[in-house]
Amino acid sequence: MKLKSPRRNVQLYPGRCLCHRTNQLPALTGWQARVVRLSDSRKPVSLVYMNRNVMKPTSKTVLGLHLPTDPRWANLAKISLEEILTDHAYCEQKAATACISLVQLYPDHQELVESVAPIVTEEWGHFRMVLQELKKRGLQLGYQRKDEYVNGLLAFQRKGGKREERLIEKLLTCALIEARSCERFRLLSIGLSDPDLSDFYYKFMVAEAGHYRLFLDLANLYGSPEKVRIRWQEYLDFEARMLSGFPVRGDRMH
């Protein structure tokens, strides 16, 4: 599906947007979700609805990503269920840890603290859901492996600079990991014949799409939207180059 205007594909409902300073919606190319914000909610993102039929498998712009995942990945992941669930479990742990770290580093950023604190609970809940799924299927949680994907993104972050600039780097890194996770959960959701597993991954897809949006909103709140937009494109380019150099492995989420 070719998108003409990002805004055309996004419906923001009444409520305060974290991007209220500029009301800009950056990096929405390919975003085909309906983001719903409850006007009486203190949470910046309350609900995200995604139609699993909207994002076609051939789309090259799922959440603005510059490189669609190799279709062979989902097939490989299907036959490595124990490994992919183990890797997924640790991804959820790392997501929770990243949010805790943001709070520890930026306690003076009230919007940030109030926005990401609930995500810690949510990500830990995701970890527990994966544990439950492993148990249900008689599978064992394995050991954590070296995460080349996340390490690559961390290496890409600009070091030094102002504290606020480092925050933007962290938020964009989080947004990108969420976007890629969302894209891959979607592939698993539509590619698996087991309806329980398909629904299982669908729930993750929806949740991570909301987190992607939240981290981008926060980046725009604390940074110049124009600079954030440019830097986000650099992240997307880098991630696409990095992933294209990775072997297609079905035992890893990324």
CA distance 170 to 213: 14
Q: Tokens 């992933």 correspond to what residue?
A: 243
Residue 208 sits in the site that holds Fe ion (CB under 5 A): yes
> How big is the site for Fe ion, counted in residues (CB under 5 A)?
7
Residue 126 sits in the site that holds Fe ion (CB under 5 A): yes
Residue 182 sits in the site that holds Fe ion (CB under 5 A): no
Q: Which of 122, 130, 135, 112 is nearest to 221 (CA)?
A: 112
Q: Tokens 């975003």 correspond to what residue?
A: 31
Q: For Fe ion, which stretch binds (CB under 5 A), given 13-21, 35-43, 185-193, 210-218?
A: 210-218
Give me the least distance between CB of 232 and Fe ion, in Å please: 17
When binding is defined by CB under 5 A, the residue of 211, 213, 231, 252 that contacts Fe ion is 211
Alpha-carbon separation of residue 1 from 9, 30, 235 (angstroms): 11, 9, 23
Give me the least distance between CB of 85 and Fe ion, in Å please: 13
Query: Based on CB atoms, which residue is closest to Fe ion, 211 or 252?
Result: 211
Residues 6+ apart with CB under 8 A from 29: 3, 6, 61, 64
When binding is defined by CB under 5 A, the residue of 123, 147, 169, 183 that contacts Fe ion is 123
Residue 133 sits in the site that holds Fe ion (CB under 5 A): no
CA distance 6 to 138: 43
Q: Site residues (CB under 5 A) for Fe ion?
A: 92, 95, 123, 126, 178, 208, 211
